């Protein structure tokens, strides 16, 4: 079981309040991603749940048990760190065994769990090596292995993929996702990368300056961003935003249209502009359009074989039902 509830959790370092009082419920088995720009308090929030930082006030409950003052060791959680935090002087086997040794589990059961974790994570051949002899991806798997064997109530991941290169990052993303489906254990995952958040999460928590901006499924956030911050943060390339007369036509202070919801045409459309650069990815083409008189650059995501190039004239038309409207405070107008 791993239902985690935060009630009025607040954290201040000295006079600086990094997390204002905050409520959050995480259901058992859920994959929750905390996402936000650096310094938004997402890692602090994770460390509060882990018990590596003390809450300044408020309560943290795991499975109906108040753990606010319980030591990290006794919360039944496992954590995977950004730097992997492997013990350099221990072999892979000993690294994975360490939490079991600390809980004084009997040797046979330890070996069984280690063998199981190693086979899931493809580490069987590396068990006798030292962390220093492993690649980044393998180290990452050892760190995950060390977490799995404890059979924790929930896994905590602190930006686990940020030290890996792009190709490995994608591979590990898939592996962690599959692991979650197999284990069905609660996972809390911190990242600044909205693509990781979108692809892995059941529920995303968008944070800014310690405040929760929005909580929802990836598609909810994509289709109904609660405010301009979430609208700008979720989605890649980022949403085009328009103010002024264009927005006023829609009865809003600001309107937003995602690049994929703009239809380009060589002959006719609502807005006229000039192609600055077209990036042909094969499956898609990203057009960067200037001189529309609306905003400096409009990004459009078009089909892979569209025939538009530098300095071509282009007309754009937003899909009518895909326009997001925001008021002067930046809040979504329903």
Residue 18 is a binding residue for other proteins (CB under 8 A): no
Helix (H, G, I), strand (E, B) or coil at 300: strand
The residue range among 97-105, 134-142, 202-210, 227-235 that interacts with other proteins, by the rule CB under 8 A, is 97-105
Residue 135 is a binding residue for other proteins (CB under 8 A): no
Report the nearest approach of other proteins to the CB of residue 109 (Å). 15
**Which residue's CB is nearer to other proteins, number 82 or number 317?**
82
Report yes or no: 173 and 161 within 8 Å, Cβ to Cβ. Answer: yes
Residue 82 is a binding residue for other proteins (CB under 8 A): yes
Residue 86 is a binding residue for other proteins (CB under 8 A): yes
Helix axes 107-120, 136-148, angle to 10 degrees: 140
DSSP state of 182: H
* DSSP assignment of 16-77: EEEEEEEEEEE-TT-EEEEE-STTSSHHHHHHHHHTSS--SEEEEEETTEE-TTS-GGGGTE
- Of positions 103, 135, 217, 236, contacts other proteins by CB under 8 A: 103
Report the nearest approach of other proteins to the CB of residue 176 (Å). 18
- Total residue length of the chain: 334
The residue range among 78-86, 199-207, 221-229, 315-323 that interacts with other proteins, by the rule CB under 8 A, is 78-86
# of chain residues touching other proteins (CB under 8 A): 26
Residue 150 is a binding residue for other proteins (CB under 8 A): yes
Tokens matching residue 230: 């979430």
Residue 102 is a binding residue for other proteins (CB under 8 A): yes
Q: Which of 256, 299, 257, 243 is nearest to 275 (CA)?
A: 299
The whole-angstrom separation of Cα 217 and Cα 315 is 34
C-alpha distances in Å from residue 133, one per residue of 117, 125, 127, 129? 19, 13, 11, 7
Strands 271-280 and 284-290: antiparallel
The residue range among 72-80, 160-168, 170-178, 235-243 that interacts with other proteins, by the rule CB under 8 A, is 72-80
Residue 181 is a binding residue for other proteins (CB under 8 A): no
- Of positions 25, 59, 81, 290, contacts other proteins by CB under 8 A: 81
- Of positions 2, 36, 41, 99, contacts other proteins by CB under 8 A: 99
The residue range among 26-34, 66-74, 209-217, 244-252 that interacts with other proteins, by the rule CB under 8 A, is 66-74
DSSP state of 247: H
- Dihedral pair phi/psi, residue 303, rounded to 5°: -65, 165
Site string for other proteins, 274-303 (x = CB under 8 A): ------------------------------
Strands 77-80 and 154-158: parallel
Residue 70 is a binding residue for other proteins (CB under 8 A): no
Residue 207 is a binding residue for other proteins (CB under 8 A): no
Report the nearest approach of other proteins to the CB of residue 51 (Å). 8
The whole-angstrom separation of Cα 75 and Cα 240 is 44
**Which residue's CB is nearer to other proteins, number 83 or number 135?**
83
Residues of this chain that interact with other proteins (CB under 8 A) are: 50, 52-54, 71-74, 77-79, 81-83, 85-90, 98-99, 102-103, 146, 150
């Amino acid at each position: 079981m791993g239902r985690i509830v935060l009630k009025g959790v607040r954290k201040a370092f000295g006079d600086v309040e990094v997390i204002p009082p905050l409520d959050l419920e995480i259901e058992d088995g859920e994959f929750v991603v905390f996402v936000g720009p650096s310094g938004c308090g997402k890692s602090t929030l994770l460390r509060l749940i882990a018990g590596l930082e003390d809450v300044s006030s408020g309560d943290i409950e795991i499975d109906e048990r108040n753990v606010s003052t319980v030591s990290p060791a006794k919360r039944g959680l496992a954590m995977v760190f950004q730097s992997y935090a492997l013990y350099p002087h221990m072999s892979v086997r000993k690294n994975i065994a360490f939490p079991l040794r600390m809980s004084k589990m009997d040797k046979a059961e330890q070996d069984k769990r280690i063998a199981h974790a190693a086979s899931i994570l493809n580490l069987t051949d590396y068990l006798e090596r030292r962390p220093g002899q492993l690649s980044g991806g393998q180290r990452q798997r050892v760190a995950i292995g060390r977490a799995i064997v404890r059979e924790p109530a929930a896994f905590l991941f602190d930006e686990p993929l940020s030290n890996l290169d792009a190709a490995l990052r994608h591979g590990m993303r898939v592996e962690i996702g599959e692991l979650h489906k197999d284990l069905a254990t609660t996972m809390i995952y911190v990242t600044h990368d909205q693509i990781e958040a979108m692809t892995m999460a059941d529920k995303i928590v968008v944070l800014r300056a310690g405040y929760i901006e929005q909580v929802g499924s990836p598609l909810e956030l994509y289709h109904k961003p609660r405010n301009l911050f979430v609208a700008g943060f979720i989605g890649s390339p980022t949403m085009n935003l328009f103010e002024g007369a264009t927005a006023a036509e829609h009865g809003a202070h600001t309107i937003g249209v995602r690049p994929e919801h703009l239809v380009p045409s060589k002959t006719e459309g609502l807005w006229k502009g000039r192609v600055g650069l077209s990036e042909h990815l094969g499956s898609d083409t990203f057009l960067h359009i200037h001189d529309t008189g609306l905003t400096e650059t409009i990004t459009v995501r078009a089909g892979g074989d569209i025939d538009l190039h530098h300095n071509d004239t282009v007309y754009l038309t937003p899909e009518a039902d895909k326009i997001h409207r925001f008021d002067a405070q930046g809040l979504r107008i329903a």
